[in-house]
Structures are given as C-alpha cells and as structure tokens.
Structure 1
Amino acid sequence: MQKPTYSIYKFSFFLLLPILFFACERIVETLAPANFDYYPIEVGKYKVYQIDSIVYNEYNCSVQTATYQIKEVTESKTTDGEGDVTFIIKRYFRRTSADAWALYNIWTEKIEDNQIQRVENNQRMIKMVSPMQEGRSWDGIVYIRRDTLVPIRGGSIDMFKDWDDFVCDNIGGSFVDTLSNLIYTDVAKVVHVDKTNNIERRFSTEVYAKDIGLVYKEMRILDTQCRAPGTCTGNSDIAACIGTPWYIKAEKGFILKQSLVEHNY
C-alpha cells in the first residue's frame, strides 16, 4: 500500500501557516510621523536676523567687516517638479533697522519624508532629519559636490572641502546667544563641519530652538598661505603662523555670525 505522504505534507503545511503568519506579523513596524518641532514651517511667518561678517579678500589683501539684517518670510507654497509641496522663502536686506527692506533673493524649502530640504543659492541641503536624537548623523550635502567652488569677494573658495556628515548635538539643551543676549531653553544644535589644519579652517554650525526654528548660525570658511601680514604674494611661512588665531592669519574666506532678533512664531 502506498504511504499517504501527500496528506502528511499537506497537514504539516497547514500547521505551519499560523507560525508563518505570526512570525511575519511580529516584524511589522509602525513608523512614527516626522516631527519637526525645531524647524516649524508655516506660510506667513517671518524671522529677522542680525548678521556680522568679516570677509578676507585675497585679491587685494583687504579685510572688510559688515553688519546688516536679513528678513526671511515664508511667503507661499507651491508644488515643485518632483510633486512635493515646496515653501517659497523671500529674503529681504537692509543695512540698519532705520532702512527700508529690499528684496534680496528667494530660497525654497520642503519636507520630504523625514527630511527638511532647503535650497540656498541653488545649493540643496538636508538641514534636519526626524527624529532628532543626540549624536544622530546624516549626509546634509548629499546633493552638493564636495569640490564645489563658492564665489566670494575677490575670488572663490572650496567651501565644502572636508565636510562629513551633519551631527545633532545638545538636543534639548539651552543656548545663550551672546550677540542678541537671548536665552533659549530647548534647542537642537547641528554641527556641519569642524575641521582645521595649518592652512585651512572649515567650521559651520546652526542652532534651532523648539517651535521657532533657526536662532543662530556661525561659519568660519578660511584659507591661508601664511604670507607676511598685508601681502598677497610672496613666499609662505607655515611654521611661523602655527598657533596664530585664524582671524589674524586668514587670507581668503569669511567669518559669519547670524542671530535671530525678531520673529512672529
């Protein structure tokens, strides 16, 4: 008599179904919705920033300082070429608070999945990801070539050289803005880069306050050949300027500090 192997296999298969079902069920995850409390975006909101800058002009060996204000207004929203809702940020410029605002340029930003993407001067950055956690990192300039030359006064600079992943730091901590004398009690700090060698300094960081957004930004993008002070040509002396502060030995690049002074969030 032939053994009923088919029936045994069939019976065993149906016994395994509940096991397979529950095994699959256990690996299903429910993803929490993206939370951007540190980067709220809303049409009609604005921020006014005080900006202090120092520009090192390698072309004519000059050092120029400037103080001015930038107002960012979330003017409207539209749909971009990728089908995503995109917010239009109009940026206005004035020298002092007594001057009238003049339209300076237009940037955009959008939320895509768990990212905040912002286009500044035609360069797209991933400013923030969700959830924000201490030590979390991401490639914030994945859309930008690391060897992109950025125009500055007197020439151009390799701004993104040596940039690695952005890193979230000081989540939920406090921050004291020494320029505006304001204290923020719940912030997320994002470090873009903090690298230095004998002839290059790359530093960029942003601080975001909960329910407000960007409250402080600082950049130090500097190069030097350690030439004699006040000269644009000649032999360099790297050993002589080791340990010299960057604001003294810099020959090309800029230092920028940006502080929030007014908003309607």
Structure 2
Amino acid sequence: MNKLFNPLPLLLAVLLFSCGEKGANFSPAAQVKDYFPVQIGKFITYRMDSTVFVRSGSAVETHQYQVKHSIADTTRDNQKRLTYIVQRQIRNADGSGNWTDNGRYYITPLDNSVEVIEDNLRVIKIAGPMLTGNTWKGNTYLPLSPYEAAFGTQAGSEMNTWVFTHKGLQGNETIGGQQYSNVWTIEQANTVRNLPPPATNPGYGSMEVSSEKYSKGIGLVYRNYQIYDFQPPNQGVPQGTYAGFGITMWMIDHN
C-alpha cells in the first residue's frame, strides 16, 4: 500500500528557504536621525547664491556669500520638546572678511521627523519612513502667502499644501565639486509658470521650485529654493517686475 504523502516537511523547507533569502537581501529603511544629525558644536558651511530683484523689481542680481550654520545651544519649544539653537553667520564668498551674525533658527528632532523654525515659519524638513516615493505635508504649519508681506510676491501662496517627496537614494553623488555617499533627495515643489517671460506679450509668471539633498552622517548638503513671480507691464508700470527671492546653497565644509 502506498504511503500517504505528507506535505509538511516540504512546506517547512520552502518557508525556511524563503525567509533566509529575504533576510539576505532585506535592507532596512534609512533613519531620519542619520541624515539630520544634531549636537552642540556641530557646524556646516555653505556657499550660497542669493537671487535678489533690484530697481523696483526690474533687474535681477545674484549675490554670493559663505554662510556658516553652527549649533550653539539647546532650549525647549512651547511643547517642552528638546530644540537646538542654530546660529547663522555670513562672510564674503571667497572666504575673506570676518564672520558676522545673520540670525538664528531652531531645530526640533522627533522620533521620525525633524521640524525647523526659521523666521517664525515651521517646516517638517524630513520625515520617515525614508523610502523612495514616501510623502508628507512638510509645510502644513505655514499660513497662506507666507512671503507676501516681506517680499511682495504671490508665489508660494498655497505652499502649505506642498507634498514633500523622497525622490530616492544615490549611493554616490557629486555636489559642488565634492563627492558624497548615501544622498537622499527630497523634492518639495517643482512648478514653473510662464518663466522666463516671452519677449512679446509677457503674462504673469511664477517660480515655485524647492529641493534639498541630505548626506548620511552630515546633514543638508544642498538646497535650491526659488520663490518669486513676474508681473507683466501695464498702464501703471511700463516694464515687467519681479518679486520674491531665490537661494541656491551647497556645503563646502563641516565638522
């Protein structure tokens, strides 16, 4: 008489093999804290190109600087959460001249995200899980048109709806002539309307472009932040004018 076939040993073997194979190839998600390290005494220095609009907004200039961000102390925010105080200093782009104070901002690291408050604007800069395609509302705490009063621009009027996205991890990437390993790119916005304006019959245009790159063990190594608009000529204004600002910065030194 033929013995009945018992599938249990074969099933167990398949399960064991499958689990072992998954364990060999499984890579856990990156940790937020590894890409936004904070401690008193840490600094990062950036080269920065600042786009400004002069002559009542009719002309564009690029001003260049070095900007140093140093974690100077800690405090507690209004929710009693540990917060790091960052002192910002600025000097000439070629490294000459003394550092002069250029304001401060605040970093609040949480279990799976990091909040930054600058100019009373709170942004969730980075959030987990750090997986390609993961999204979050990083500007959810911002008011409508946060830059209209200071810069007179309508661009970014609804930036509190921006969807931040982990675009992916680069094993090696060269930024500003320096090579980094394990770089995550976070895209915050990429909307360009009617810019640059056409030479004939230009209409309203706007630029809302924002992205950041973070390197493991270092932090922010690149930022591109362009928030401005263009108003076409009209009866009261004979030439088109820009309003807003732009910042491009990349790391040149750190400890």
TM band (smaller chain): 0.7 to 0.9
Residue matched to 1:261: 252
Residue matched to 2:173: 175
TM-score normalized by structure 2?
Answer: 0.76
Mapped contact 1:58–1:251 kept (Cα < 8 A): no
Structure 2 residue 121 is matched with structure 1 residue 123: yes
Residue matched to 2:238: 234
Cα distance 1:92–1:232, how it changes in 2: closer, same or farther (>3 A)?
farther
Unaligned runs of 5+ in 1: 1-31, 237-249
Secondary structure of 2:231's counterpart equals coil
- Work out which of the residue numbers 107, 110, 124 in structure 1 matches 2:108: 110
| Larger-gyration structure (1/2) | 1
Secondary structure of 1:37's counterpart equals helix
Structure 2 residue 184 is matched with structure 1 residue 188: yes
Any residues of structure 2 matched to 1:64-103 within 5 Å, and which?
64-96=61-93, 97-103=95-101
Structure 2 residue 249 is matched with structure 1 residue 252: no
Instruction: Kindly provide the amino acid, as one letter, of the partner of residue 160 in structure 1.
Output: G
Residue matched to 1:161: 157
Number of residue pairs matched by the alignment: 214
* Whole-angstrom CA distance in 1 between matches of 2:233 and 2:102: 36
* Whole-angstrom CA distance in 1 between matches of 2:123 and 2:252: 24
Which runs of 4 or more aligned residues in structure 1 lie more than 6 Å from their structure 2 counterparts after TM superposition?
none
Cα distance 1:151–1:85, how it changes in 2: closer, same or farther (>3 A)?
same
TM-score normalized by structure 1?
Answer: 0.73
Instruction: Kindly provide the amino acid, as one letter, of the partner of residue 262 in structure 1.
Output: D
Instruction: Kindly provide the amino acid, as one letter, of the partner of residue 178 in structure 2.
Output: L
Mapped contact 1:68–1:95 kept (Cα < 8 A): yes
Residue matched to 1:42: 39
Mapped contact 1:146–1:162 kept (Cα < 8 A): yes
Instruction: Kindly provide the amino acid, as one letter, of the partner of residue 247 in structure 2.
Output: L
Mapped contact 1:34–1:113 kept (Cα < 8 A): no
Mapped contact 1:148–1:158 kept (Cα < 8 A): no
* Whole-angstrom CA distance in 2 between matches of 1:214 and 1:49: 10
Unaligned runs of 5+ in 2: 1-28, 195-204
Cα distance 1:53–1:121, how it changes in 2: closer, same or farther (>3 A)?
same
Cα distance 1:221–1:58, how it changes in 2: closer, same or farther (>3 A)?
farther
Mapped contact 2:155–2:229 kept (Cα < 8 A): no
Mapped contact 1:173–1:188 kept (Cα < 8 A): no
